[in-house]
Amino acid sequence: MDAVDALNEIAFWLERELAPTFKIQAFRKAAGIIGALDPDEVAARARNGRLKSMKGIGDRTFEVIRQAVDGGVPDYLEGLRQRGQQPLATGGAELRSALRGDLHSHSDWSDGGSPIALMADAARTLGRDYLALTDHSPNLKIANGLSAERLREQLAVVAEINGDNGDFRLLTGIEVDILEGGSLDQSPDMLEQLDIVVASVHSKLRSDRRTMTDRMLGAINDPHMNVLGHCTGRLLQGSRGTRPQSEFDAERVFAACAEKNVAVEINSRPERQDPPDDLIRLALDAGCLFSIDSDAHAPGQLDFLQYGAERAAANGVPAERIVTTWPLDRLLEWARRGK
């Protein structure tokens, strides 16, 4: 098989398993190194051992490349494929099969680890009909948030990718910060050009209940907003440690979401599991729509939708209330209301 494809597929499976970042990056880096060379040169260097002397090619990546250029599936990749046959989540299989897309993902334009095209390719391989690219907005400097100028440049990249993707659609989007006053961290003119606007709170998460409620309600009242992202901001595990959930009047916030036709995100990241189960049920009772999203920062993490489907099913969320089960035309019609 193609050696670059083998290295990238290994990285995909490792991302899916939440392997250490350094391990994943070794395979992505090696793919980039040999991807810049002529395939015949790669094969020759792999067979005579000279490839092993190149910076960025270690023992494991060299072995993968050597086995790939010899015409077989590398042993390491075959082992990962075997493990990958097991689902990430045991519940929610019926709901998982109904999912058509994902409205929350990040590329290396902000704090993701992979190019846009690689994210789109992975989503298509996983059988998605659509994926929204939602890199961060400028206020989130730690995540290299996109200025209006950079976002305009990204729109051109997305248009080019969509020209080659057949039935799959990469949606333009943003994960826009909900600022302290409740406004969205991007100009209305730019937001109007996007297919999907996910709005999330990323700062001062320990604000008092009234302050946080007013902040969230201000954003929900903005007609550009489509999805309320990871509403409590909690962290249950992972390299960033743990963080308690924000305090806000969930009944008022979810009532506003239902009134304004804003979907409540069921964030599928294992460290978030946001909203908690009791808030999912509260949003369901309030009449809210939902969006099961991966919040993927790497291609393999796009498969995290399995976790979100499991949680949605366990809390009785019906498929028809989940916008990411809808066909693209219906989804876009819903997303454009008010714009």
What pLDDT digit, counting tens, does each position of 96-121 carry?
Answer: 999 999 999 999 999 999 999 999 99
Paired with 169 in beta bridges are 130
pLDDT, position 165 = 65
Residue 23 burial class via C-beta count within 10 angstroms: exposed 0-12, middle 13-18, buried 19 and up: middle
**Digit-coded pLDDT (tens) for 126-168:** 999 999 999 999 999 999 999 999 999 999 999 999 987 678 9
The total number of residues written for the chain in this structure: 339
pLDDT, position 339 = 62
Q: Which amino acid is at 232?
A: T
Provide CB contacts within 8 A for 142, sequence distance 6+. 111
Cα separation, 55 vs 77, in Å, equals 22
CB 266 within 8 A of CB 277: no
Cα separation, 157 vs 191, in Å, equals 17
Cα separation, 77 vs 31, in Å, equals 14
Say what the pTM is.
Answer: 0.94
**Digit-coded pLDDT (tens) for 186-214:** 999 999 999 999 999 999 999 999 999 99
**Digit-coded pLDDT (tens) for 46-99:** 999 999 999 999 999 999 999 999 999 999 999 999 999 999 999 999 999 999
Cα separation, 302 vs 304, in Å, equals 5
pLDDT, position 338 = 63
In the DSSP assignment, the letter for residue 274 is B
Task: Using the structure block, give the residue that is written with the tokens 């709170």.
Answer: 201
Cα separation, 138 vs 56, in Å, equals 33
| Alpha helix ranges (H) inside the chain | 3-16, 21-35, 39-48, 59-69, 75-84, 93-98, 116-125, 148-162, 188-192, 209-220, 250-260, 277-285, 305-314, 328-335
pLDDT, position 337 = 84
Q: What is the dihedral of CA 189, 191, 193, 197, to 10 degrees?
A: -170
Cα separation, 89 vs 86, in Å, equals 9
Average pLDDT over residues 297-304: 97
Which stretch of DSSP H or E encloses residue 336? none
Q: What is the dihedral of CA 29, 34, 36, 38, to 10 degrees?
A: -170
